[in-house]
Structures are given as structure tokens and as C-alpha cells.
Structure 1
Amino acid sequence: MQLKHLAIRELVKESEDAPARITERGGIIPTSEPIANQLFETLNAAFSRRSSLTHGSFNHDNEEGYPFISAFETFVGSEASETDFTALTDKSMAQLAVAINNPSAHTAHGGYVLFALYASDRYEYLLIALVRDKAGIGFDNDLHPTEIMEVNLDQLHQGARINISTFKKKQDSYLSFIGSKEKGEITHYFSTAFGCTDVTPSRQSTGELIRAARDFCNQNNMSDRKEEVVEDVVSYLERQRSDKESANLNEVQNLFDAYIPPEQAETIAGTFGTFANKGPYNVSQEFQPHTSTINRFAKLKVKADNWCLDFTKRNLGDINTGKDIEFDEDNGRIIINKLPSKVINQIREALEQED
């Protein structure tokens, strides 16, 4: 990876009622310094470890309400010089101060805001992260243990990463952002400051989750259980939709773990969430199941000139599989088994009326 620019700024919020302020400390850090690259690598590793990333794009419907968006677009169209990067960090800090001063985020705290522009493989990224101090132990001149404060780079309190290359191609999901585990809008103030409000559409997350489920099975010697696993994932999404609850990757991961063979448990148990959350699927950690997408995977509706069948796919199978609906391709027919008494009576009555 090539680190192009690095900047460190400070946002102070001394109490819940105190307004946030941007200090004069910090600024551009020369990337030629070895410590700069070490800091960046630690920061980037901490961000990459997070499995609870939410993906999305800028809120272009309200760019005036999110000045960072236009500032970012200006930066992308510039030479990306040190002066250009400084201007972008200035605008970022101003918007972050506005967001944290919002009454809904009154319990949020400030910290050190790190900005890194870097290139990795075929992509260029802008990483913005909020970190804070932590207490540590050191020795004084007499080797007496003493408390020291050090920056906790391993724990990101907030973070956003923009895939500049994907953004330039006008593709979706060029944003990845995280939040704290606290409840309420405080978990969104950081991402909102940077216009990261248009998260991955529920339609996309729903479809990509099912695609990820199939690919995970294929890649981990679980092909023989694939259809069963996918059926369970779809059923889970249907339940969540029916209960008006969000779908959560952790819950889907628990569902997956029940299918993993004992001999593979040590290596792949607990990994599906991360697998689906990252590229190429980019399934959000939490999302609302999309009704029509679920139906596309869960139901099948077939029509002929004078009849129509509408049924769930889990009840469909080939001939002699014992499924409620069997498809006999050789003879061009569909066999419906296990007809309920109510249906039998309805059909009998219809036939009697014909007589």
C-alpha cells in the first residue's frame, strides 16, 4: 500500500453540555517518516478487522445539507496536493463539529481524527477514523511504574472509508463506515457528518446475502447442503420481514454454523458474517429484508393460457422426491401431492358443478 497523505486533527468535547471545538493542534504528517506509515498500517488493520461495516453511498438528494460531499468531489477533481488535502480535512472537521453538537449526539465524545489518503492494488481510498487515548503503564527515571496515556489505535470509535476509484466510476457502495456499539443516533453522527447516510439498499443486501450463502457453501465443501442452507436463510428473512424486524448478519452466521461439519468447525465456524459483509457482496451488518427480493427467491409463479400456480420453492422437487409439488419433465407434467381435505372438497364441488 502507498500512503499518499496523512493528517491528524483534534476535536474536543469536554462534557455533554459543552460545545465541541476544533483545536489548533495537529495537521499534515510527512509520509516520509517511518512512524507515519506504522501509524497508518495499524489504523488500516483495525478498520479492516471490523466485520460490522455498513456500506452505501453519499446522500446526493441533499448535498446542501452535507457540505462534505461537495468538498470531497472538489478534492477528487484536484491534483490531490498537500494543500488540497488540508482543505478537505478542514471542511471535514467543521462538519464533524456540527454533527457532534447536534442535540441527538449530546453524549458523544471527541477525540483524535485521522485522515489517510492511500492506494492499494487497483483502488485509491480515503480513510477517516476517530480514536482516543487509553491509560497504560510506563516506568519513570527510577523505574517506578507510573500511569501514562497513549493513543489506542486498535479501537476505532468511529470510522469511514471511501473507495475513490469506485466513486469515480459512479458505482454503488463506495462507502464503508462503522459506529459505536451504543444505541441511538450517536452511532451515526460520525458517518452523517460525511454524508454517509444512503446505506446499501435493502434490496441489494437481501439479494447479495443469498448469493453469499450459496458461494460460501460452494467454497467450503458444503455444496451438498447448499439448497438446505439457502432455504433456511430465506425462511429467516421471511420471518424477520413478517415480524417487522431487521435481518442481522450475526443471526445468519449462527444459522450457518449449525450446518458446518464438525471437521470444519475450527476453521470456518463464525466466519460467514465477515465473508458476506465484505466484497464483492457488501451485505450490511443490519438491514430490512426486501419483500419482492425474498419472494423472487422463495416463491415461484407459473402461468399457462388457462391456469396459474403460485407456490413456495421449498415445496418443489423432481419426480419421486416426495415434495408437495413434483416436476415430471419427461412427461411434461406437474404432480401435486398431499392435497388438504379442503382443497379436495373444493375440486370435487367444482367437478360436480360441471356435471
Structure 2
Amino acid sequence: MELKHLAIRELVKENEDAPARITDRGGIIPTTEPIANQLFDTLNAAFSRRSSLTHGSFNNENEEGYPFISAFESFVSSDWNEESFTTLTDKSMTQLAAAINNPSAHTAHGGYVLFALYASDRYEYLLIALVRDKASIGFDNDLHPTEVMEVNLDQLHQGARINISTFKKKQDSYLSFIGSKEKGEITHYFSNAFGCTDVTPSRKSTGELIRAARDFCNQNNMTDRKEEVVEDVVSYLERQRTEKESANLHDIENLFDAYIPPEQAETAAGTFGSFANKGPYNVSQEFQPHTSTINRFAKLKVKSDNWSLDFTKRNLGDLNAGKDIEFDEDNGRIIINRLPSKVVNQLREALEQEES
């Protein structure tokens, strides 16, 4: 990874009733300093470890309401020098102060805001994170224990990362931001300040979840049960949709753990959520199942000139598979087993009408 620019700023909010203010402390940190790269490595690792990232894009329908979006677009089209990076951090801090001063976020606290522009593999990123200090124990010159304050880089309170390369190509899901299990606007002030309000479309998260499920099975010695696993994932999505509930990667991870072979448990158990949450799938930690996408995986509709069949895929199998619908490819037939008595009566009545 190549760290191109690094800046640290401070946002102070003494108590719930006090307004947030931007201090004069901080600014650009030379990337030639070894400590700068060490700080960035720790920060980036902390962000990458998060398994509850939400993915999405800017709210382009309301750019006026999110000035950071236009500031970021101006920066992307600039030379990316120290001056343009400073301008971006200044505007970012102004937006963050405005967001934290919103009445709905009055219980939120300030902290140190870190801005890192870096390149990794074929992509370029902007990472913005909020960290705070923590009390620790140190020694003075006489080796007397004393309390010292240090920055807790391992604990990110808020964070957002923009894949600049993907953004420039106008692709989906170039934003990743730290989600929260808590309810309320306070948990969203950081992402809202940067226009991270338009989460990945449910259609994309639903489809990518299925793709991630298949790839995870292929990579973890579960190929023979892949279709069974996918069927369970689709069934879970159908239940959540029917009950008007969100799908959650934690629930699906538990579903996967029941299928993982014992010899794979130590390395694979409890990892599907992180696997699907990161690239290339970028499935949001929580999302609304997309109806037509579920149906594409769950149902199959086949038709000829004179007839059509509409059924769930879990009921389809090869000849003699014991499924309700069997496909006899050699003879070009579809066999429907275990017809309900109601259907039998309907078919009989139809034939009797033809004969009369």
C-alpha cells in the first residue's frame, strides 16, 4: 500500500449541550515520517477488521444537502496535491461539525478525525475515521506509574472509506461505512455528514449474497452441499421478506456454520459474514431482501407455445430424484409427482369436458 496524504484534525464537544467546534490543532502529516505509515497501517487494519460495514453510494439526488459530495468531486478532478487535500479536509470537518450539532445527534462526542489518501493494488481510496483517546499507564523519569492518554486507533467509533477508482467508473458500492446495531440518528451522523446515505440497492445485496454463498462453499470444501446451502439461504431471505424483516449477515453466518465440515470448523466457522461483507461482494450487514431477485433464484418459470409451469427450484430434480418435479432429459419429459387431489380433480374435469 502507498500512503499519499495523511491529515489529523480535532473536533471537540465538551458535553451534550455544548456545540461541536473544530480546533486549530493538527493538519497535514508528512507521509515520509515512519510514524505516519505506522499510524495508517493500524488505522486501515482496524477498519478492515470490521465485519459490519454498510456499502453504498452518494445521495446524488440531494447533493445540495450534502456539500461534502461536491467537495469530494472537486478534489477527485484536481491534482491531489497537499493544498487540494487540505481544502477537502477543511470542508469535511465543517460538515462533520454540522452533523454532530444536529439535535438528533446531541449525545454524540467528538474526537480526532483522520484522513488518509492511499493506493492499494489497482485502487485508490480515501479513508476517514473518528478515534478517541484512552487512559493508559506509563512511567515518569523516576519510574513512578502515571496516567497517560493515548489514541485508541484499534477502536474506530465511526469510519467511511471511498473507493475513488470505483467512484470514477460510476460503479455501485464505492462507499463503505461502519454500521451500528444501535438504533437512532446518533449512529448515522458520521455517514450522513459525508453523504453516505444511499446504501447498496437491495437487489445488488441479495444477488451478491447468493454469489458469495456459492463461492464460500467452493472455497471451504462444501461443494457437495452447495445447492442445499443456497436453498437454505434463499428460504431465509423469503421468510424475512414475507415477515417484512431485514436480512442480516449474522443470521446467515449461523446458517452456514451448521453446514461447515468438522475439519473446516476451526478456520471457516464464523467467517461467512466477513467474507460476504467485503469485496468483491460488498453485501451490507443488513438489507431488505429484493423480491424479484429472490424469485430468480427460488422460482423457475418454463413455457412452451401451449403451456407454462411455474414452480420453486427446490422441488425440481433429475429423474428418480424423488422430487415433486423430475426432469427426464433423455426422453424430453417433465414428470410431476404427488399431485394434490384438488389438481387431480381439475385435470379430470377438464378431460371430461373435452369428451362431452
Shorter-normalised TM-score: what interval? over 0.9
Aligned pairs, number: 355
Cα gap change, 1:339 to 1:123, in 2 (>3 Å) = same
Query: 1:167 maps to what in 2?
Result: 167
Q: Which runs of 5+ in 1 are unaligned?
A: none
Q: For residue 354 of structure 1, report the CA deviation from its aligned partner.
A: 2.7
Q: What one-letter code is carried by the residue in structure 1 that aligns with 2:178? A: I
User: 1:190-229, aligned counterparts within 5 Å?
Assistant: 190-229=190-229
CA shift, 1:180, in A, is 4.1
- Give the Å deviation of 1:102: 1.1
Higher mean alpha-carbon deviation, 161-170 vs 127-136, is at 161-170
The answer to whether structure 1 residue 153 and structure 2 residue 150 are counterparts is no
Which one-letter code corresponds to 1:194 in the other structure?
A: F
Are the equivalent residues in 2 in contact too, given 1:3–1:119 (CA < 8 A)? yes
Secondary structure of residue in 2 paired with 1:320: coil
SS in 2 for 1:260: coil
RMSD: 1.1
Q: CA deviation at 1:322?
A: 0.4
Q: Give the structure 2 partner of residue 302 of structure 1.
A: 302
Deviates more, 1:171-180 or 1:293-302: 171-180
Equivalent residue number for residue 18 of structure 2: 18
Cα contact 1:157–1:180 (8 A) shared by 2: no
Q: Report the equivalent of 2:283.
A: 283
1:57 aligns with 2:77: no
Paired residue secondary structure (2:289): coil
- Alpha-carbon distance, 1:167 to partner: 1.2
**Contact 2:248 2:287 survives alignment (8 Å):** yes
In structure 2, the residue matched to 1:314 is 314
Q: Distance in 1 between matches of 2:351 and 2:181?
A: 62
Of 14-23 and 283-292, the range deviating more from structure 2: 14-23
Matched AA of 2:257? D
Residue type at the aligned position of 1:285: Q
Q: Secondary structure at the match of 1:135?
A: strand
Match for 1:49: what amino acid? Answer: R
Residues in 2 aligned to 1:26 and 1:12: alpha-carbon distance in whole angstroms: 13
Asked whether 1:91 is paired with 2:91, we answer yes
Offset of residue 119 of structure 1: 1.1
Counterpart Cα distance in 1 of 2:85 and 2:296: 46
TM-score, with structure 1 as normaliser: 0.98
User: Following the alignment from structure 1 to structure 2, what is the Cα–Cα distance between the partners of residues 241 and 233?
Assistant: 12
On the 8 A contact 1:136/1:148 being kept in 2, the answer is yes
SS at match of 1:41: helix
Kindly indicate whether the alpha-carbon contact (under 8 Å) linking 2:8 and 2:29 is maintained by their aligned counterparts in 1.
yes
Q: Give the C-alpha shift of residue 339 in structure 1.
A: 1.0
Secondary structure of 1:148's match? strand
State the SS of the aligned residue for 2:4: strand
2:233 is the counterpart of 1:239? no
Report deviation, 1:89: 0.3
TM-score, reference length from structure 2: 0.97
Q: Which amino acid aligns with 2:41?
A: E
2: CA distance, partners of 1:105 / 1:182:
13
The secondary structure found in structure 1 opposite 2:24 is coil
Quick check: 1:158–1:180 contact (8 Å CA) kept in 2?
A: no
1:259 aligns with 2:264: no
Q: Is the contact made by 1:12 and 1:22 (CA closer than 8 Å) also made in structure 2?
A: yes
Shift of 1:214: 0.6
Between the aligned partners of 1:170 and 1:291, the Cα distance in structure 2 is 25
Amino acid at match of 1:155: Q
2:216 partner SS: helix
Deviation at 1:179, TM superposition (A): 3.3
Provide the rounded CA distance (Å) in 1 between the counterparts of 2:226 and 2:146. 56
Query: Alignment partner of 2:342: what SS?
Result: helix
Q: Residue deviations 1:258-307, cap 9 Å, x none?
A: 00011110111111111111111111111000000000000011112222
In 2: Cα distance, 1:36 partner to 1:261 partner = 43
Q: 2:18 is aligned with what amino acid? A: A
Q: Secondary structure at the match of 1:203?
A: helix
Residue by residue, what CA displacement relative to the aligned partner does 1:121-171 show, whole Å, maximum 9, x if unpaired? 211111100000111111233323222211000000000111111111111
Q: Residues of 2 paired with 1:105 and 1:180: CA distance?
A: 14
- Local SS of the residue matching 2:25: coil
Report if aligned partners of 2:52, 2:180 keep a CA contact under 8 Å in 1. no
The unaligned stretches of length 5 or more in structure 2 are none
User: Given residue 243 of structure 2, which amino acid in structure 1 is its aligned partner?
Assistant: D
Query: CA separation in 1, counterparts of 2:263 and 2:168?
Result: 45
Q: Is the 8 A contact 2:7 2:116 kept in 1?
A: yes
Q: Distance in 2 between matches of 1:241 and 1:342?
A: 29
Q: CA deviation at 1:13?
A: 1.3
